[in-house]
Amino acid sequence: MSSVAGTMACMIWKGTPHYAHIEYNEKKDPSDGLPDEDVTAIDEIPVYSINKPKPESLAVLRILDSVKIEVRPKMMKKSRLIEELEEIGIIDKNASIGANTVS
């Protein structure tokens, strides 16, 4: 579990995670009595960026979330969504005239 947390931390803070391949020996470490270990290889683990959604995408999701309470879940007419997006300034009213005529 700590390896997952370390990889996630590297994704967030732009670090480089590594994985150390360990081979345990029959010999015991005299200081603690645990098996002796050798690092046989170290691999760099790839990380992926976690991008925050665009404000426009979050606005659409907020509108859809508010509508699902009023109507059947996840149902909304496109024309109403366009009107809502025009009201909050996400899309230009003149640019959406053609989209309003399509049902």
pLDDT tens digits for range 21-78: 988 877 777 788 777 788 899 999 888 877 789 999 999 988 888 875 555 555 678 8
CA distance 32 to 17: 28
Q: Are residues 15 and 40 in the same domain?
A: yes
Entry pTM: 0.45
**Are residues 40 and 59 located together in one domain of the fold?**
no
Identify whether residues 25 and 60 lie together within a single domain.
Answer: no
14 φ/ψ angles, rounded to the nearest 5 degrees: 60, 40
For residue 76, the enclosing domain spans 55-101
> Same domain for 7 and 36?
yes
- Distance from C-alpha of 10 to C-alpha of 70, rounded to nearest angstrom: 42
Query: Same domain, yes or no, for 7 and 27?
Result: yes
- 59 and 92 housed in the same domain: yes
Which pLDDT tens digit goes with each residue over 15-30? 999 998 988 877 777 7
In this structure, the answer to whether residues 74 and 93 fall within a common structural domain is: yes
- Total count of domains within the chain: 2
